[in-house]
Chain A
Amino acid sequence: SQQGEEDPQALSIQEGENATMNCSYKTSINNLQWYRQNSGRGLVHLILIRSNEREKHSGRLRVTLDTSKKSSSLLITASRAADTASYFCATDPITQGGSEKLVFGKGMKLTVNP
């Protein structure tokens, strides 16, 4: 079942600009994670934010989490052509028994033009 929904589904920007992606989800979560996928490759973990955190930074990445609105945003600052990829949010939902499954969104394709 899909929980995360990324918005927009596609974004095209120029190198040096900032890129913002949003993710909405439906149920209570332990944490929310963002992953990146280059074309034809596996996913790579970017950043994780726990449910009791509101903002987190890692290099050029900034992620925010609003649990009251069940939404998150990922900001990539000073984008580079190498940031061109698909980005997925994944939620770790709170469940009885604590099963360790992530629920992935459909992804958002970012194109950074040189």
Chain B
Amino acid sequence: DGGITQSPKYLFRKEGQNVTLSCEQNLNHDAMYWYRQDPGQGLRLIYYSQIVNDFQKGDIAEGYSVSREKKESFPLTVTSAQKNPTAFYLCASSNRGAYNEQFFGPGTRLTVL
């Protein structure tokens, strides 16, 4: 099955800890994205990557970091510098030149205890 996966589905973190959210795709897409969604809100872009070994900050990159060492993987680290990390995190990918239609993973719900 082709698709995009995120793990874990639920994640609990103590304040002051860094956590890494996984995102993997086997769609052979060049571009990948991380969004944050708060209750009743739209999606806000954290980071995106259009090609391996390159990524750009989105609208709310502070307190987050990413890497793109492989085409199929785009992990997101939520650092202790992120003041309010409790949220629903969505990863997406798209094929460059295909009108930027994005395919989404199922999401990871992060809760800071």
Instruction: Determine the chain B residues whose CB is within 8 A of the CB of A44 once the complex forms.
Output: 104
Give the docked Cα–Cα distance between A2 and B40 (Å). 14
Please pick, from A42, A88, A100, the residue contacting B106 in the complex, using a CB distance under 8 A. A42
Residues of A close to B103: CB separation below 8 A: 45
Query: Could you say which residues of chain A place their CB within 8 Å of the CB of B102?
Result: 43, 45, 90, 102
Q: For chain A, residues 1 to 18, give those with C-beta under 8 angstroms from any C-beta of chain B.
A: 1-2
- The binding surface of chain B is classed by DSSP as strand
Known contacts A42-B90, A42-B104, A42-B106: A88-B99 contact under CB 8 Å? no
- Cβ-defined contact, B43 with A88, below 8 A: yes
- Chain B contact-residue range equals 20 to 34
Q: How far is the CA of A2 from the CA of B45 in the complex (A)?
A: 10
Contact partners of A43 in chain B: CB under 8 A: 43, 90, 92, 102, 104
> In whole angstroms, how far apart are the Cα atoms of A101 and B96 in the complex?
11
User: In the bound complex, what is the Cα–Cα distance between A33 and B104 (angstroms)?
Assistant: 14
Find chain A residues with CB under 8 A from B99 CB: 30-31, 33, 48, 50, 92
Number of CB contacts from chain A to chain B under 8 A: 63
Q: Does B107 interact with chain A (Cβ within 8 Å)? A: yes
- A106, B48: Cβ atoms closer than 8 Å: no
Q: Which residues of B contact A35 (CB under 8 A)?
A: 104
A99–B50 Cα gap in the complex (Å)?
A: 9
Q: Does B42 contact A (CB under 8 A)?
A: yes
Chain B 90-104 against A: per-residue CB contact (8 Å), 1 yes, 0 no?
101010100111111
Cα–Cα distance between A44 and B50 once the two chains are bound (Å): 21
Q: Can you list 22 A-B pairs with a CB-CB distance of less than 8 A?
A: A30-B99, A31-B99, A31-B100, A33-B100, A33-B101, A40-B88, A40-B107, A41-B106, A42-B104, A43-B90, A45-B103, A48-B99, A48-B101, A88-B43, A92-B99, A99-B56, A100-B31, A101-B48, A102-B102, A104-B35, A105-B42, A106-B40
Instruction: Give B residues with C-beta under 8 Å from A.
Output: 6, 31, 33, 35, 40-43, 45, 48, 50, 56, 58-59, 88, 90, 92, 94, 96, 99-107, 109
The 6 A-B pairs at the shortest CB distance, nearest first, are namely A42-B104, A106-B42, A104-B43, A43-B104, A104-B42, A92-B100
